[in-house]
Amino acid sequence: MSRVIVTGRVPEEAVRRLEAEHDVDAWTGRDPMGREELLQRVAGVDAVLSLLTERIDEELLEAAGPQLKVVANAAVGYDNVDVPACAARGVVATNTPGVLTAATADLALSLILMTTRRLGEGERIIRSGQPWKWGMMFLLGSGLQGKTLGVVGMGGIGQATARRARAFGMDVVYHSRSEIDPQTAEELEARRLGLDELLASADVVSLHCPYGPETQHLMGAEQFAAMKPSAYLVNTARGPVVDEQALVAALEEGQIAGAGLDVYEHEPEVHPGLLERDDVVLLPHLGSATLETRTAMATLAAENVLAVLRGEQPPTPIRQR
Ligand code: GLV
């Protein structure tokens, strides 16, 4: 039996699978385990099943000790994990790609609809108790039909978002490290563009790239200035891909029409300049938040742990490019 720590609350099924083979310390608190607590409890474990709220860095790996074999992050994004530091210690690092693609794309589409149709604003009017009535010119948004979606980061989630947008009558352009496979490009009638060209032509820019040094503030003052004044920004990727201060300035100056955000540069803090704006929709990082998806993510992370502890290849190791 090996020792496994699960650093935050996850669906029961994942814990049960781990408990069938190992000694499991699963955190059940409503809030994530504090850093100090984590550094203490991680000592001597063979496996860490981590959530994106935990920083898995040199300090934590050191606190765990040399017997640590695997860090299984229950998320597709792994910017919270120092993967080279894991590799240097012979610790396998894994993530959970694929299982959250549909849920996250659904949420991106929700934000596209919420921003372009001003749904948050409408709901706030009703809840405020202020009088309202139907009016031909009341709370007009903009339609998606015939508009262009610009997908930045055309991996699985970007493609799934593009597919949904096509069903709403949008055209698709994308910016990505590599060309997508020809069959998908044909199905989506999607053209690959440079970022500047994409920003100049998109009516909605949706971010789906991983976060790292290359994508830090990918969307800054220059990029907002390059967008159409009628265009919207949607971010379901990671907060620091967007320079929030520059976003607030761009909104104030009318350089773009609005934004829909699920993630924040200094999460869970939200820039005060965003909080007061009606042309911004703000969600609390709900991209993969369905019971089905979170169960699939946690059980995939558990399968990664179990495989490594059995001396097998894990299903979804992180392959850094
Ligand atoms: C969620 O944000 C994830 O990366 O899985």
For the Cβ of 155 lying below 6 angstroms from any atom of ligand 1, the answer is no
Mean pLDDT of all residues in 182-186: 98
Question: In this structure, are 166 and 205 located in the same domain?
Answer: yes
Give the CATH number of the domain where residue 263 resides.
3.40.50.720
Q: pLDDT of 36-52, one tens digit each?
A: 999 999 999 999 999 99
Question: In this structure, are 141 and 82 located in the same domain?
Answer: no
Looking at residue 299, its amino acid is T
The answer to whether residue 82 sits within a structural domain is yes
Least confidently predicted of 14-18, 220-224, 307-311, 316-320: 316-320
Mean pLDDT of all residues in 85-110: 98
Which of 280, 172, 161 has the alpha carbon at shortest distance from 209? 161
pLDDT number for residue 30 = 87
For residue 135 the two structure tokens come to 């009016």
Which of 44, 53, 54, 52 has the alpha carbon at shortest distance from 23? 44
The answer to whether residue 316 sits within a structural domain is no
Question: In this structure, are 94 and 133 located in the same domain?
Answer: no
Catalytic residue among 9, 118, 271, 285: 285
Query: Which of 92-125 are b and which e, b meaning 16 or more Cβ less than 10 Å from the residue's Cβ?
Result: bbbbbbebbbbbbbbbbbbbbbbbbbbbbbeeeb
Q: How far is the CA of 163 from the centre of ligand 1 (A)?
A: 20
Distance of CA 213 to the CA centre of its chain: 16
Report how far residue 22's alpha carbon sits from residue 38's, in angstroms, rounded to the nearest whole number: 19
Q: Is the pLDDT of residue 217 over 90?
A: yes
Q: pLDDT of 269-309, one tens digit each?
A: 999 999 999 999 999 999 999 999 999 999 999 999 999 99
pLDDT number for residue 33 = 87
Question: In this structure, are 247 and 220 located in the same domain?
Answer: yes
The answer to whether residue 319 sits within a structural domain is no
What is the residue-averaged pLDDT of the chain?
97
Q: Is 238 in the active site?
A: yes
Question: In this structure, are 139 and 257 located in the same domain?
Answer: yes
For the Cβ of 239 lying below 6 angstroms from any atom of ligand 1, the answer is no
The answer to whether residue 315 sits within a structural domain is no
- Phi/psi at 261 (5° precision): -120, 135
Ligand 1 atom showing the smallest separation from residue 100 Cα: 5
Q: Is the pLDDT of residue 234 over 70?
A: yes
Which of 106, 209, 210, 214 has the alpha carbon at shortest distance from 167? 106
pLDDT number for residue 32 = 80
Domain that holds residue 94: 3-99+291-309
Q: pLDDT of 238-250, one tens digit each?
A: 999 999 999 999 9
Q: How far is the CA of 295 from the centre of ligand 1 (A)?
A: 13
Question: In this structure, are 181 and 42 located in the same domain?
Answer: no
- Site to substitute for ligand 1 among 52, 235, 238, most atoms within 8 A of C-beta: 52
- Site to substitute for ligand 1 among 49, 73, 76, 285, most atoms within 8 A of C-beta: 76
> Which residue is closest in CA terms to ligand 1's atom 5?
75
Report how far residue 215's alpha carbon sits from residue 217's, in angstroms, rounded to the nearest whole number: 6
- High-pLDDT (> 70) share of the chain, %: 100
The answer to whether residue 318 sits within a structural domain is no
Ligand 1 atom showing the smallest separation from residue 288 Cα: 1
The answer to whether residue 317 sits within a structural domain is no
Question: In this structure, are 46 and 195 located in the same domain?
Answer: no
For the Cβ of 76 lying below 6 angstroms from any atom of ligand 1, the answer is yes
Question: In this structure, are 189 and 299 located in the same domain?
Answer: no
Least confidently predicted of 12-16, 18-22, 30-34: 30-34
Ligand 1 atom showing the smallest separation from residue 297 Cα: 5
Of the pLDDT bands very low, low, confident and very high (cuts 50, 70, 90), residue 31 is: confident
Question: In this structure, are 113 and 256 located in the same domain?
Answer: yes
Ligand 1 atom showing the smallest separation from residue 74 Cα: 5
Catalytic residue among 17, 118, 175, 238: 238
The answer to whether residue 321 sits within a structural domain is no
**This prediction's pTM:** 0.96
Q: How far is the CA of 102 from the centre of ligand 1 (A)?
A: 12
pLDDT number for residue 96 = 98
Mean pLDDT of all residues in 72-101: 98
User: DSSP H helical segments within 65-151, as ranges?
Assistant: 83-88, 101-116, 119-128
Question: In this structure, are 176 and 189 located in the same domain?
Answer: yes
Question: In this structure, are 231 and 254 located in the same domain?
Answer: yes
Q: Is 267 in the active site?
A: yes
Q: How far apart are the first and last CA of the chain?
A: 34
The answer to whether residue 214 sits within a structural domain is yes
> How many Cα atoms sit within 13 Å of 42 on the Cβ side?
31
Mean pLDDT of all residues in 132-149: 98
Question: In this structure, are 94 and 148 located in the same domain?
Answer: no
Taking residue 280's Cβ as centre, other Cβ atoms within 10 Å add up to 23
Total domains in the fold of the chain: 2
Of the pLDDT bands very low, low, confident and very high (cuts 50, 70, 90), residue 321 is: low
Give 253's DSSP letter.
T
Q: Is the pLDDT of residue 216 over 90?
A: yes
